[in-house]
Structure 1
Amino acid sequence: MPVTKCPRKSEPLWKWWDWKAQKNGLRHQVYAVNGDHYVGEWKDNLKHGKGTQIWKKTGAIYEGDWKFGKQDGYGTLSLPDPKTGKYKRLYSGWWKGGKKSGYGIQFFGSKDYYEGEWCANQRNGWGRMYFSNGDIYEGQWWKNKPEGEGMLRLKNGNRYEGYWERGMKNGHGHFFHLDHGQLFEGFWVDDVAKCGTMIDFGRDEAPEPTQFPIPKVEILDPDGVLKEALAMFMKSEEEAN
């Protein structure tokens, strides 16, 4: 008997169009409905590899690595200056899942900027913050605030070294008043020194030393009570051995 074959059905045109629309590899100027556009590499219809994205609403531009549709790897985010129109770098560093994660530099203004570790768009880990007034904080961060051990160096050279909590001095620390040649060691609660001791520290080299030095406090023992007690303790130790 003759063998008959069924004629092959032709694929609908929409499948062909859909296949043609799938983005893989390098593409030029792919526009979204809202006006955003992207130039770069794709994989399975998602931004993947090296690419540049420009957001129409804000004018922001991202140049760097992508992974499955999100910023992932190293990249730079810039914003246009409202006065000049020129682009200014906002952040340069590492990303993960579309958020700043890893080491990076963030610019908050013309002179304020942070360099250090990030996690999920927040300053977390070790980092250094430069303020426009000349102050510098270097130390540990948690949820965008100094937390843990850190040092704040003021513009005039004075500095605090100690513990922080919720962005404020909390716990044991040292404050070096180098302009007056003094050192305060004590305990802080919410940026307020609660108790401690103040001593002269480099008073001879200080640019603005205090009028009078801090007197040294000596514990007097005219009756020799402490000396006698120590001698008795040593004697008892020797007899025990």
Structure 2
Amino acid sequence: MHSQPNHTAKKKSNSSFYLKVFLIALAAVILTFLFIYYGLGYQVLRVQSGNGEITFFGKVSKGQAVSGTLYYENNVKASLDAKKSALYYANGDIYEGKIVNLMRHGDGKMSYTNSGDVYEGSFINDQISGKGKYTYSNGDVYVGQLVAGKREGVGKYTWADGDVYEGSFSHNEKNGNGKYTWSNGSFYEGLYADDKKNDENGYFEWENGDTYRGSFVNDVRDGYGTYTWYSIGDKYEGEFKNNKLDGLGTYTWKDGRAPYTGKFENGVIVVENTKTEQETAE
């Protein structure tokens, strides 16, 4: 009588062999990782910046990142070159300047490849913050204070066409006291709110010498004010609506005629339900 082959023993032997191979391979991977991690100085570092968490994997020497890759929460990544004090972003952007604890911190220069914009100035916790100069690809230039990448505080914005605004900013808009000068010489001095002229006592002077002192609401003359025509010397003092003489007011002629005090509507004098046209302030 012949004995049957012991298939169960063979299966156990094969399983044991594969398990040993797997464990040896796993140990080799772990040892390789540990060698790279500790022997060659590669580490994983994490820091919290003003824009969220930054994860670094690369070479570290004496606790400082030397070279490697930075991973940001918004799926952006950049290569670090500590010797050149530079960051090279995957989209082509380049940062050159002070790097502290994996973050842009201190004075530096940021060049944006896609837009062509360039910023030179202060960074805090990986954000554009402090005083700096932002040059836009269209020729506009801003010099002044910024917070988290936005114009915030006092600054000067020069448009490519020659217009200039100097004054207070908030959330990238003109807010607070400032002066806007047009390239033709006209200018406005007064308060802004949400990027528009809003002031009870603002001042506007045109390139032809005409002046207006009074109320502005959402960029237009609205409320009480005084308009003086430089070329003819006439003056109007009273109510305005949508940039025109509208409401009660007094019109004074330079030629000596008796001043008119009464009602105006849409830029003209209203007399006994008739309208006499007068030169208006545009």
TM-score of the alignment, normalized to the shorter chain, above 0.5: yes
Hey, what's the Cα distance between the residues in 2 that align with 1:191 and 1:153? 14
Distance 1:24 1:39 in 2: 10
Residue 154 of structure 2 corresponds to 103
Q: Which residue of 2 aligns with 1:178?
A: 230
Q: Point out which structure has higher relative CO (alpha carbons under 8 A, 6+ apart).
A: 1
Give the whole-Å Cα distance in 2 for the aligned partners of 1:117 and 1:24.
37
Counterpart of 1:138 (choices 169, 189, 198) is 189
In structure 2, the residue matched to 1:234 is: none
Aligned to 2:251: 198
**Using a 3 Å threshold, how does the CA distance of structure 1 residues 27 and 142 change in structure 2: closer, same or farther?**
farther
Aligned to 1:161: 213
Q: CA deviation at 1:55?
A: 0.4
User: How far apart are the structure 2 equivalents of 1:141 and 1:216?
Assistant: 34
Instruction: Give the 3 Å change call, closer, same or farther, for CA 91–68 of structure 1 in structure 2.
Output: same
Q: Tell me how far apart the structure 2 counterparts of residues 49 and 193 of structure 1 sit (CA, whole Å).
A: 53
Quick check: 2:174–2:194 contact (8 Å CA) kept in 1? Answer: yes
- Which SS does the other structure have where 1:51 is aligned? strand
Q: Is the 8 A contact 2:81 2:87 kept in 1?
A: no
Letter aligned with residue 177 of structure 1: W
**How far did residue 25 of structure 1 move?**
7.9
Cα displacement (A) at 1:27: 4.6
Q: 2:256 aligns with which of 207, 213, 233?
A: 213
Which ranges of structure 2 fall in alignment gaps of 5 or more residues?
1-29, 46-58, 66-79, 261-282
Deviation at residue 132 of structure 1 after TM alignment: 2.4
Partner of 2:228, secondary structure, is strand
TM-score by length of 1: 0.72
Task: Identify the match of residue 33 of structure 1 among 90, 99, 105.
Answer: 90
CA distance in 1, matches of 2:168, 2:215: 19
Q: Deviations over 1:22-71 (max 9, x none)?
A: 47988533200000000111222111111000001122111100001111
Larger radius of gyration: 2
The SS at the match of 1:66 is: strand
- In percent, how many aligned pairs have the same letter? 25
Hey, what's the Cα distance between the residues in 1 that align with 2:127 and 2:83?
A: 16
Report the counterpart of residue 229 of structure 1 in structure 2. Answer: none
Q: In structure 2, do the counterparts of structure 1 residues 168 and 25 end up closer, same or farther at CA, with 3 Å as the change threshold?
A: farther
Contact 1:26 1:41 in 2 (8 A): no
Pair 1:74 & 2:117 matched: no
Instruction: Look up the match of 1:126.
Output: 177
Q: How well do the aligned residues superpose, as a CA RMSD in angstroms?
A: 2.6
2:42 maps to which of 17, 28, 38: 17
1:17 deviates by 2.1
1:116 paired residue among 150, 167, 178 = 167
Change (3 A) 1:54 1:216: closer
Partners of 2:140 and 2:160 within 8 A in 1: no
Runs of 4+ in 1 over 4 A off after TM superposition: 23-27
Greater CA deviation, 121-130 or 10-19?
10-19
Deviations 1:66-114 (A, max 9, x none): 0011111110011346xxxxxx561111111211111111112231111
Gaps of 5+ in 1: 1-8, 82-87, 204-211, 218-241
Task: Assess if the C-alpha contact under 8 Å between 1:27 and 1:41 holds in 2.
Answer: no
Match of 1:226 in 2: none
Cα distance in 2 for partners of 1:108, 1:89 equals 4
Q: Which residue identity lines up with residue 258 of structure 2 in the other structure?
A: P
- State the number of aligned residues: 194
